[in-house]
Amino acid sequence: MFPTYVRNIANGSETGQVLALDLGGTNFRVLLVNLLPHSEVELTSKIFVIPQSIMLGEGVNLFRHLADCLLDFMKKENLIQPGVRYPLGFTFSFPCQQEGLASARLSSWTKGFTCSGVVNEDVVKMLQKAIDEKNISVQCVALINDTVGTLMACAYKNPTTAIGLILGTGTNACYTESLDRIGTWNGDYNEPKQVIVNMEWGAFGNNGRLNYLRTKYDEEVDLSSVNPGKQIFEKMISGMYMGEIVRLIILDLMQQDLLFIGQRDHYGDYKTPLFTRGGFYTKFVSTVETDVGIAFANTRRVLQDVGIRNPTFDDCAIVQHICKNVSKRASRLAGGGIDIFDVLF
C-alpha cells in the first residue's frame, strides 16, 4: 500500500481549466478538463495508441511519445497561446512510491510494459523533461493512480465517496485513511488528517497466499507474462488476462479431443488462432456470455472469428460454460477484495 499525498477529496466546488494525461494500458488519453460551477464538467479528449515497440523499449522514448501526443492535442485544440502555461495532472496507473504530490518513483511495470530505465526513477521528472524538450508550456503539478482519479471524479459529483476501484485492463483500489494509521507517512499532520491510500491490490498473492485458488492455467498465464510472480491477483481477474485463461482451458480440452473434434484438417492439426498466445480476446468472453437459449448465435460468431467454422451444440455449450465460470471466479475474487473495506472502515 502506498500513500498518495492526495489529502483533500473533491466536493464539486472546484473550477478551472486543466490538462490531463491518462496512461494505464495500450491506449493513452490526453484530455482538456473544464471544471464548471455546480459539479459540471466539460471534457475534450483524444485517444492515442502506445505501440508495442515503445511499451517494450527505452523509457525515455515512452515519455517523448507522450509529449508528442500532448503537443498534437494542444495544437488541434488551439491551446498554444503566448504567455499561457497550463497545469497538468498525470494519471499513471502503475505501482509507484510517491514522494510528493508531483513526485513518484516507479516500483515496477505491469500491464505488458517493460520500458527500460524507468524503475526507481521519478516518472514526473521524466515526463516534464520530455515536455520541456518540446517547448510545451505545461507544468505537471500532480501524479495520481487511476483509482485515485476514479475516487476524485466520483467525489466531484458525490462528496461522500470513499473508495476508488478499477476493474479493467488491470485492477486496483484505493481508499481514504487516517494519518495516524499509516506507519510510513512522512508528511505533515495538518488538517485534513487523512490521505488517499493506493492499495496496489493487483499484487495480492505475490507472497503465495492465493496459491490454493490458482489453477494450472493461472500458472501458465503468469509464467508466460512479462512479469512472472508479480500481480498474481490481477492476473486472475483483470481484462488483460481473462481471455488468455479461457484460451488455455479451451486449448487443453482440444488437445484431449473433448472440443472441436470435427475441426481437424487432413494433417490432423487445428487451423485456429487458439494455438497462439493472446488468440482469444477478453471481449470474446463477454460476447459469449450474452447468449441465451440454445442457438448460441454470439458464441458461434466468436468461434468463427478464431477459426472454428462449424462448432456443434456441445462445443458452444462447453465454451460458454468456460467463459461464464472464468468470469464468475473473477467477480467473486473482486468481491472478496471489496469486502476488505468492511474491516478497514
What percent of the chain shows pLDDT beyond 90?
74
Q: Whose CA is closest to 253, among 309, 318, 299? A: 318
| 249 in Cβ contact with 259 (< 8 Å) | no
pLDDT tens-digit map of 268-315: 566 788 999 999 999 999 999 999 999 999 999 999 999 998 899 999
Angle formed by the axes of helices 297-305 and 313-344, nearest 10°: 100
4 is written with which cell numbers?
A: 498518495
According to the model, what pLDDT value does residue 157 have? 85
According to the model, what pLDDT value does residue 269 have? 60
190 is written with which cell numbers?
A: 495538518
pLDDT tens-digit map of 314-335: 999 999 999 999 999 999 999 9
According to the model, what pLDDT value does residue 263 have? 73
pLDDT tens-digit map of 100-147: 999 999 999 988 899 999 999 999 999 999 999 999 999 999 999 889
Q: What is the mean pLDDT of residues 187-213?
A: 93
* Domain 211-333 CATH class label: alpha beta
According to the model, what pLDDT value does residue 267 have? 41
H-helix or E-strand spanning residue 195: strand 194-198
Which three-class secondary structure state does DSSP give residue 288?
Answer: helix
According to the model, what pLDDT value does residue 144 have? 93
Look-up of cell digits 471544471: 35
Look-up of cell digits 484460451: 247
Angle formed by the axes of helices 239-255 and 282-289, nearest 10°: 80
Phi, psi angle pair for 7, to nearest 5°: -100, -40
For domain 10-158, which architecture applies?
2-Layer Sandwich (3.30)
According to the model, what pLDDT value does residue 139 have? 97
Which residue would you say has higher pLDDT here, 262 or 60? 60
Alpha helices (H) in 138-238, listed in sequence order: 146-157, 216-223, 232-237
Q: Which of 22, 122, 146, 315 is catalytic?
A: 146
Q: What is the mean pLDDT of residues 181-204?
A: 90
Which three-class secondary structure state does DSSP give residue 163?
Answer: strand
According to the model, what pLDDT value does residue 309 have? 86
Other Cβ atoms within 10 Å of 185 Cβ, number: 16
| 233 in Cβ contact with 204 (< 8 Å) | yes
Q: What angle do CA 111, 322, 290 make, to 5 degrees?
A: 85
DSSP string, 15-75: -EEEEEEEESSSEEEEEEEEEETTTEEEEEEEEEE--HHHHTSBHHHHHHHHHHHHHHHHH
Q: Which of 22, 111, 122, 315 is catalytic?
A: 111
Active site residue 271: no
121 is written with which cell numbers?
A: 526513477
Answer whether 10-158 and 211-333 agree in fold: no
Q: What is the mean pLDDT of residues 182-200?
A: 89
**Per-domain residue ranges of the chain:** 10-158, 211-333
Distance CA 99, CA 182 (A): 15
According to the model, what pLDDT value does residue 266 have? 43
Is residue 76's pLDDT more than 90? yes
According to the model, what pLDDT value does residue 1 have? 79
pLDDT tens-digit map of 221-273: 999 998 899 999 999 999 999 999 999 999 999 999 999 987 765 445 667 88
According to the model, what pLDDT value does residue 265 have? 59
pLDDT tens-digit map of 28-52: 999 999 988 877 889 999 999 999 9
H-helix or E-strand spanning residue 327: helix 313-344
According to the model, what pLDDT value does residue 22 have? 94
Active site residue 125: no
The mean predicted confidence, pLDDT, of the chain is 92
Q: Whose CA is closest to 107, among 93, 97, 117, 92? A: 97
